[in-house]
Amino acid sequence: MRHTILSLLILFGLFSTDIDAQEQPFKCATPEMNRKYLENHPGARAERAKLAEFVENYIKSNPREDQIYIIPVVFHVVHNYGSENIGYEQVADGVRIMTEDFRLMNSDTSQILDEFKAIAGDAQIEFRLAKKDPWGNCSNGITRTQSYETSNGGEQIKEIAPSWPRSQYLNIWVVRSIPGGVAGYSYYPGTAGDGRDGILITHSYVGSIGTGSVGRSRTLTHETGHYLNLAHPWGSTNDPEIGSNCGIDDGIDDTPNTIGNTSCNLYNVSCGSLDNVQNHMDYAYCSKMFTLGQGAMMRAALNSGASDRNQLWQESNLIATGVLNPETAEICAPIADFSYNISSGCEGMLVNYTDLTYQTDSISSYSWQFDGGTPANSMEKSPNVSYQESGIYDVSLTVTNPTDNSEKTVTQAIRVYSAESGFSLPYYDDLESEDFPNTADFESSDYFFIKNGETGWQYTDLAGYSGQHSLMIDPRYEPYNIANSVVTPAIIIDSTDFPMKLQFKMAYSQKETNNTDVLKAYVSQNCGESWTIQYYKSGNTLHTANNYHSFSSFIPENTEWRDEEFPINETLFKHADNLRIRFDFLSKDGNRMYIDDISINTYNSIETNKLSDEFSLFPIPMDEKLMLKSERTGKMYLELYDMTGRLLNKTEINHSAVTDISHLIPKENTGIFMLKIVTESGTAVKRFVK
């Protein structure tokens, strides 16, 4: 029986990394997605019914079968300089596999069961990467767009990397991940609008090389089958292996009724007949064929006006997109781009640069410039560069080919630190420095932010525990599942400092009980070159607020802050020269988080934070005088340090309520200082600016 096919298909993990391996069970989102689509586009039902009638009449007319349908393809790679930024070779490999599968030229056709060899069909459809864009400019069939949204792939990707006209190109969007572990999804003809039509797919399901694999390489074939009007063999659902599937069908006569398969049992019988488990549209991991009937269905769709499928293969469009005679295509001008494996480290760090130049596969020369690097210049494609002196450095690449040249410069790309520079213990920062986060002393004092979302971490005066300032992030305005980071200054340590721990104040509110925002803290012993996780909390274990804040902005009261701490692993870090801390916040639609009063102390000085709250310095920044105020009185020892941890001065005082300590600060010195206050009860540390 024939059924009108109407659905927005979403496929979950179609193939495993091993062609014979079993993936986790499939998840289903089709019913909900289809319901939403029909609610928003009621005219789609009529369009799909019209297409079904056209397809039936077209197939009945038994048209000539010598037409080869060539479809121009464009891949929109949306990336954040991760593995999802797949290379031209992987994309081309994916297109090769698609064409071989649709033409029944795949090398494994000999493995098709004898029972189905007679109906295995050449669909007479080929795919070619576009050689011209919609405006007639040279193209290699790939666009590249940098966006953190690649980790949250969905329909918004099609706005970030706009569709090329569907009447001219099959649009395929490539992303890092799609929520729910989705491999990819496609629209049937007659459902999506021009800007949405096409395929969205995870990078590891494209091709058999690079981040792809042989086992997953047929996913794009499967999705393109949907794009050309094919349903799953059991019909338009994402629920295989259900007995009731025998009562529905895919509308194609020569695909046996089946409940669907998620494993490669070639001789599985369901619905009273042998299943075509090797069909590209099933969920098994051994697909090798389309049937003759499926080929006829797809060719019929390509002759229909539904979603302009009948415009794709016209000779005039093949000329306009440059695929009619691709061997004569011109060489496109390059667009320089590159990545690097690390962005910060200690003196002597080695950085690997990778050329990511795109829009062409023809490069005549590379010219790199590395400020502060050895070598300072290189003509290699992907050089290795060492950095021997501390500083912040730019990197530049110029690429040339017979058509043109292109240059890209990244300012402040590389941060190199001295392992011997940093704050001494005990370290305490109430984040009240006037010139936070930038100071003249790059070596030890700089905080820096790694922003992947809209705003990331911010230095704010909205709230503070021990003063007026703190670090704040607002996940309400961050993309879902995106991590933003803040890195602290370096702290000098040695093996005698252990055991030690990190402490900080935190305030956070969920919007509702199911918010699962995540806070992680990492420690680096090599100036930020690599990181080891030491702290992890999520969801309601982070919540410190007295109430939930669904719509209003959360600004904590004093009682809504909480002490957090974790030990710094002695086994991992005992032989380190210095440590840096990185806080990562993974946004999951909660409300604001604040961090204040960051400290690292030995366990012998764990009272430093609490004692520091009892003292204050004024005025800040210091002018001619600096006053120490506290209700604590009696004999105290004061030690003054600069930002590198160098002892500048020390004295003993008999403190009353307020003491003038201006004489302790050298007149010629300016910048940020640390005052250590040693009392009978413990040690306090205060920072101030002169």
426-450 as b/e, with b when 16 or more CB fall inside 10 Å? Answer: bbbbbbbbeebbebeebbbbbbbbb
pTM score, two decimals?
A: 0.81
Helical spans, DSSP H, in 538-639 = 570-573, 608-612
Q: CA nearest 497: which of 404, 601, 406, 412?
A: 601
What pLDDT does residue 603 have?
A: 63
Residue 387 belongs to what H/E stretch? strand 384-387
Residue 223 falls in the annotated catalytic set: yes
Cα 191 from Cα 308, distance rounded (Å) = 11
Domains (ranges, CATH) in the chain?
Answer: 8-62+73-328 (3.40.390.10), 342-417 (2.60.40.10), 427-606 (2.60.120.200), 616-689 (2.60.40.3080)
Cα 462 from Cα 470, distance rounded (Å) = 8
**Torsion sign over Cα 125, 51, 243, 273:** negative
Q: CA nearest 53: which of 159, 177, 190?
A: 190
* C-alpha Rg value of the chain to the nearest Å: 31
Cβ-based neighbours of 351, under 8 Å, separated by 6 or more? 340, 341, 342, 345, 373, 384, 385, 386, 387, 414
Catalytic residue among 23, 149, 223, 432: 223
What pLDDT does residue 437 have?
A: 66
**DSSP classification of residue 335:** B
* Mean pLDDT, 10 residues at a time, the chain of 690 residues: 33 32 38 55 85 93 87 97 95 98 96 96 97 96 95 92 97 92 87 88 95 93 93 85 89 93 92 94 91 96 96 98 92 96 94 95 95 98 96 96 96 92 85 67 69 89 92 90 91 86 94 93 94 93 93 92 90 89 93 94 58 82 85 86 71 88 84 80 77
**DSSP classification of residue 170:** E
Residue 136, phi-psi category: left (phi > 0), alpha (psi -120 to 50), beta (remainder)? left
E runs forming strands in 388-469: 391-400, 405-417, 427-429, 448-450, 458-460
What pLDDT does residue 36 have?
A: 60
Cα 219 from Cα 98, distance rounded (Å) = 9
Cα 408 from Cα 95, distance rounded (Å) = 29
What pLDDT does residue 676 have?
A: 83
Q: Are 597 and 429 in contact (CB under 8 A)?
A: yes
DSSP character string of 565-580:
EEE--HHHHTT-SEEE
